[in-house]
Structure 1
Amino acid sequence: MRRGAQLALAAALGLGVIGAAQAADYKAEYKISTVIGQPFPWGESAVKWADLVRERTNGRINMKMYPGAQLVAGDQTKEFTAIRQGIIDMAVGSTINWSPQIPELNLFSLPFLMPDHKSIDALTQGPVGKKLFEVIASKDVVPLAWGENGFRELSNSKQPVRTPADMKGLKIRVVGSPLFLDTFTALGANPTQMSWADAQPAFATKAVDGQENPVSIFVAAKLPNVGQNNLTLWGYMADPLIFVVNKRVWESFSPEDQKIVREAAIEAGKFGIDMGRKGISGNDMSVIDGIKASGVEVVTLTPEQRKQFVDATRDVYTKWKPRIGPELVDMAEKSIKGN
């Protein structure tokens, strides 16, 4: 064998040994935390991420979804802290649930900031999204891609909601966020914080009147079966999802595997976004039509009706803007206006 060929073979063998050694240092399983599993778009996108990574790394990196925030005993607001601490390896997390630790993420919960899906994209795929990734990266967590849980729509078992007056006294389940409490209090409702696991039995017993969640959850959770027969499409806020990896876990991966994990997250994020928007926007309203066919009364706000809700929550918007960061909110408003 010629010397050049020998050197090439030795180099190839050496790289193989290094690669095998590095793979041997990887965990047998990496835990992905999510609040919601399959068949919801949230869970489906996490599974898609795991499948793509496993396939493209030839099994070097095995990721498994743990839904229901079970890695933090069901307390979804503690998820981000657990990622920082290394208790959780990876997550597809909600901007709402992580906002207690990252105040800037309350941006997406500002009432009636984003009028449509184009507005969400203008934020996540523009300078706002870049800035938020910088904030997350400063906290020992590596953000990779955006996903989406969707616009949160309002349902209840009492009556159709077309104006803020229709919400007076309604007991509405909300997530554990002070901004949500402020918003629903301003609208005259009685916001009640509880986990999603506790919420569904509460709907069935009429202990709680209603909830706000994306249409995909309304359908997959079969909420009409627990009395949620009035649905208002008001798009008052949206909940982007973020694919992240604990910093120490990320740094343990080879550059090649980092590239694979990042690209797979981006692909899985787009997959989940498409899945969540299908049938509820544009020319395809098949999901909404199906909800109507099941006997649910669906209200779509007119521009005039929507303005009443905007006006009713304007003080909440003003109160929270400095808490989130005036510059960030201004940047978001500019991005939406220019899309």
Structure 2
Amino acid sequence: MNRIITTLALSGGVALAALSPAMAQETLRLTIASGHPEVFLWVKHMHETFIPTVNAALAEKGDLQIEWTEAYGGTLMKLGSEAEALETGIADVAMASGVFDPAGMGILNITYAMPFGPIDPEMVTSAVEDALYGTEGLIDQLTDETGVVYIGGGVAIDGYNIAAKRPIRTRADMDGMRIGGAGPNLAWLNSTGAVGVQGSYVTFYNDISTGVYDGNIGWMTANVPARIYEVAPYWNRTDFGAMYIGGLGVAERLWEEFSDDTKDAFRKGAEAYSKAFFEEQSAKYAANEKTMLEGGGEEIMMEPAERQAWIDDMDNPVTAWREAALARGEPVDEMLEIYRDTLAEDGFTFPRDYLAE
């Protein structure tokens, strides 16, 4: 979807130079974009929360207004090319995420490298941002490598589980199943006998209904709107954990030209964005769960001993991700320790200490 929000009170034919000094106001034209459509909450609140909050903060100062062009759903850039679009000038503001851009933003995929974590999205997001900002030089290095300034606004999805055509109570139940998922989470199937197949919510429903695979790794507030429960009615509680998907990024070339007041307005927008996201996510989770159960879906709890055996036997998921980060010269070990220790301070201990191995 493309839309233009114009905050100018004058027609396009009137030059700013014609204004009196007291009324003079700079206009900045910016493009905010996403490869995902607005059905995803992290895109929806770019429009509903981030932009209005930035505009309101700038209006308090009165010397700058922004004319926004919004381009969502891949209308300007494809999914996974957000960092490239910011660096090359195609877009000015976008989601900084590593899930679909592991080469450019892979350091943000820390939770995907440490599955079976907390199911609380806000706890996860807070711990990730503590690790990002608490690791000396990491944010600056991310900017140097990508040309993107991370401004906060971090969000996490509400927890991955497996929707499938049959119930999963033991690992034996998974043997031979074909499960669709995004790249980073397919490795979680290691040691189960299931086969991971690259897919996304664009194709999950049709691929499951036609037998391409037997289910998908997904989250409640996406699975239910996509009506996956119609073709994969068993919501199997593997509890992979809430997963951090990223935060808001601004092109470095642009950020360097911002005044302190403008930077502050963008950070306020990012903070409001996270808050609104989590509030709606919480409400939607309960509503979506009710819809699924009333629509014929069923929740299945995996046997705790089977789940623990799965976790113990799988290849350490941190290893490959850590090696890739070290190859990029990133201080990944410090980041991992801060993330783990922050969660421990908040009362969560991983069922396996990936970092001790």
Q: Tell me if both proteins adopt one fold, taking TM over 0.5 as the criterion.
A: yes
Q: Contact (CA 8 Å) 2:150, 2:249: kept in 1 or not?
A: yes
**Corresponding position of 2:298:** 297
Offset of 1:155 from its aligned partner?
0.8
Offset of 1:95 from its aligned partner?
3.5
| Aligned with 1:276 (options 281, 293, 301) | 281
Code of the residue aligned with 2:86 in structure 1: it is I
Structure 2 alignment gaps of length 5 or more: 1-19, 326-331, 347-357
Task: Give the 4+ runs in structure 1 shifted more than 6 A.
Answer: none
Matches of 1:244 and 1:290, distance apart in 2 = 34
Matches of 1:270 and 1:129, distance apart in 2 = 19
After superposition, the C-alpha distances for 1:127-164 in whole angstroms (9 at most, x for unaligned) are 345445444333321111212333222112x2112223
Matches of 1:15 and 1:251, distance apart in 2 = 27
**Corresponding position of 1:44:** 44
Structure 1 length normalisation: TM-score? 0.80
Offset of 1:242 from its aligned partner?
0.8
| Aligned with 1:148 (options 146, 149, 156) | 156
| Aligned with 2:251 (options 231, 242, 246) | 246
1:52-71 matches, within 5 Å, as 52-58=53-59, 60-71=65-76
Q: Contact (CA 8 Å) 2:149, 2:250: kept in 1 or not?
A: yes
After superposition, the C-alpha distances for 1:56-81 in whole angstroms (9 at most, x for unaligned) are 44592233443333322x3x222222
Q: Secondary structure at the match of 1:101?
A: helix
- The structure where helix makes up a greater share of residues is 1
**Corresponding position of 1:95:** 98
Matches of 2:70 and 2:227, distance apart in 1 = 23
Q: Secondary structure at the match of 2:158?
A: strand
Q: Secondary structure at the match of 1:154?
A: strand
Q: Secondary structure at the match of 2:166?
A: coil
Offset of 1:299 from its aligned partner?
1.7
Residue 231 in 1 paired to residue 235 in 2?
A: yes
Q: Contact (CA 8 Å) 1:95, 1:242: kept in 2 or not?
A: no
Q: Contact (CA 8 Å) 1:152, 1:239: kept in 2 or not?
A: no
Q: Secondary structure at the match of 2:317?
A: helix
Residue 192 in 1 paired to residue 197 in 2?
A: yes
Q: Secondary structure at the match of 2:42?
A: helix
Matches of 1:86 and 1:107, distance apart in 2 = 27
CA RMSD of aligned residues (A): 2.7
Pair 308,135 (structure 1): closer, same or farther in 2 beyond 3 Å: farther
Q: Contact (CA 8 Å) 1:34, 1:91: kept in 2 or not?
A: no
Pair 195,224 (structure 1): closer, same or farther in 2 beyond 3 Å: closer
Structure 1 alignment gaps of length 5 or more: 1-12
Size of the aligned set, in residue pairs, is: 310
Residue 335 in 1 paired to residue 342 in 2?
A: yes
Offset of 1:82 from its aligned partner?
2.1
Offset of 1:215 from its aligned partner?
0.8
Q: Contact (CA 8 Å) 2:181, 2:218: kept in 1 or not?
A: no
